[in-house]
Amino acid sequence: MNKLENKKILLVICGGIAAYKSLELIRLFKKMGASVKTVLTKNAQKFVTPLSITSLSQDKVYYDLFSHENESEMDHISLSRWADLILIAPITANTISKLSYGLADDLATTLILASNKKVFLAPAMNVRMWEHPSNKKNVNKLVDYGYNFIGPEIGDMACGEYGEGKMTEPENIINIIIKYFENLSKNKKLTALVTAGPTHEMIDPVRFISNKSSGKQGYEIANSLKNNGFETTLISGPTNLSPTNGINFIKVNTAEDMLNKCLECLPVDIAIFTAAVADYRVKKIHNQKIKKQEKLKLDLEQNVDILKHVSNHNSLRPKLVIGFAAETNNLRENSIKKLLEKNCDWIISNDVSNPEIGFNSENNKVSIFYKNQVEENLPKMSKSAIANEISNKIISYFN
């Protein structure tokens, strides 16, 4: 069965003894019905030849950033746009380092930086190289950027040593990529709604009630869901962020606006409420700027709890409702209380009293509380990495 029928795979081969396995990868991709284009780095050409690759892929091999044979197109752009998926196998410590620092000094690294497609990396290197702190730091950066690692495995190496660093076998790499496309196909049938950012509750024409939310975590979750095939709508309060292309983006200002837009978007399969919605609004907004005075009394009323309202919707409740809780103390106790009171399926909580995580930070550290009150704690990582973790858990939930 051709499980990769009509899929377009761009295979990048780096220099290393494991490069010979790329030939088997090409054979298996072709057997599964995929089209394969191949890019060789300068060092890779010392281990596999363009002729052997062309024989298997039935396509030309690319290795020159400035090709005289193809002056009408820029290969680093055309190749990255052609592919449905990019696989670097093997990827060396050198190329991992280049990508982590955003270097683009050859065709391979330039097309990766220019790509808008999912990128999988299959490392192969000596165990000491893999475990070196600088390499580990670079790997973590690439995970934060959204790259997907396959392996490496533990085993005997060509250098005679034993340990982690062996390239994953081609059959296993193929199976992971098949699974990715299968999930992508399933996810396209699912709709997701994400709320993000703060809301502004006006006091007068120049003042409002709000909070410190930047919206970063919600935007990253929406981007990750979109990248994994979900039909995604992002409803955002006022932020300085821009969503990626392909997301249905709705801008709102107040909690009432956000509630109305959420209800208009129903039904959906997944609703994720990351927005820090203001709990209160002013009963009567002043038409003119309030002049400075010694004391100012504001008459406040509660906003509708959007998470609770949607989670308890009789006919249009999403199949999976996820709330967020920004806490400064008693995180577990408050999270479970919110989980039960608001009737949601998961609560994702973080401690915003720590300035290094949470509001206006690039990083976060969250705990996930499920409906059965089981708790799962994620380590501190970038908000994009957390978004990918949440997306993977959602995919597992539905599959």
Mean pLDDT, residues 35-44 taken together: 95
pLDDT score of 212 more than 60: yes
Please give the structure tokens belonging to residue 179: 């699974």
> Are 50 and 13 within 8 A, CB to CB?
no
Say what angle helices 133-145 and 93-100 make with each other, to 10 degrees. Answer: 50
Say what angle helices 133-145 and 383-398 make with each other, to 10 degrees. Answer: 60
pLDDT band at 67 (very low <50, low <70, confident <90, very high): low
Mean pLDDT, residues 313-342 taken together: 92
Stronger pLDDT, 372 or 271, i.e. the higher one: 271
Residue 314: its pLDDT value, please? 84
Mean pLDDT, residues 213-222 taken together: 95
> Please, what is the average pLDDT of the chain?
91
CA distance 220 to 35: 31
Provide the CA 62 distance to its chain's centre, in angstroms.
29
Other beta carbons within 10 angstroms of residue 144's beta carbon come to 18
Among 133, 174, 185, 189, CA closest to 319: 189
Beta bridge partners of 367: 349, 377
Share of the chain above pLDDT 70, in %: 97
Residue 73: its pLDDT value, please? 54
Q: Give the least confident one: 87-91, 143-147, 228-232, 270-274.
A: 143-147
> Are 84 and 177 within 8 A, CB to CB?
no
pLDDT band at 186 (very low <50, low <70, confident <90, very high): confident
Residue listed under structure tokens 């290197």: 125
Q: pTM score, two decimals? A: 0.82
Torsion of CA 140, 144, 19, 116, to 10 degrees: -170
DSSP 362: S
CA distance 29 to 25: 6
Note the residue count of the chain: 399
pLDDT score of 71 more than 60: no
What are phi and psi for residue 272, nearest 5 degrees?
-120, 115
Stronger pLDDT, 354 or 246, i.e. the higher one: 246
Other beta carbons within 10 angstroms of residue 374's beta carbon come to 8
Residue 72: its pLDDT value, please? 44
Residue 69: its pLDDT value, please? 56
Among 394, 352, 392, 387, CA closest to 370: 394
Residue 127: its pLDDT value, please? 94
Mean pLDDT, residues 34-51 taken together: 94
Instruction: State the distance between the two ends of the chain, measured CA to CA, in whole angstroms.
Output: 21
Residue listed under structure tokens 């006919």: 315
SS3 188: coil
Mean pLDDT, residues 339-357 taken together: 88
Residue 74: its pLDDT value, please? 55
Mean pLDDT, residues 281-297 taken together: 89
Active site residue: 14, 159, 262, 344, which one? 159
Q: Catalytic: 159?
A: yes
What are phi and psi for residue 84, nearest 5 degrees?
-85, -25
SS3 193: strand
- Which domains does the chain carry? 8-185 (3.40.50.1950), 188-398 (3.40.50.10300)
> Are 152 and 130 within 8 A, CB to CB?
yes
Among 147, 115, 125, 124, CA closest to 37: 115
Please give the structure tokens belonging to residue 14: 């780096």
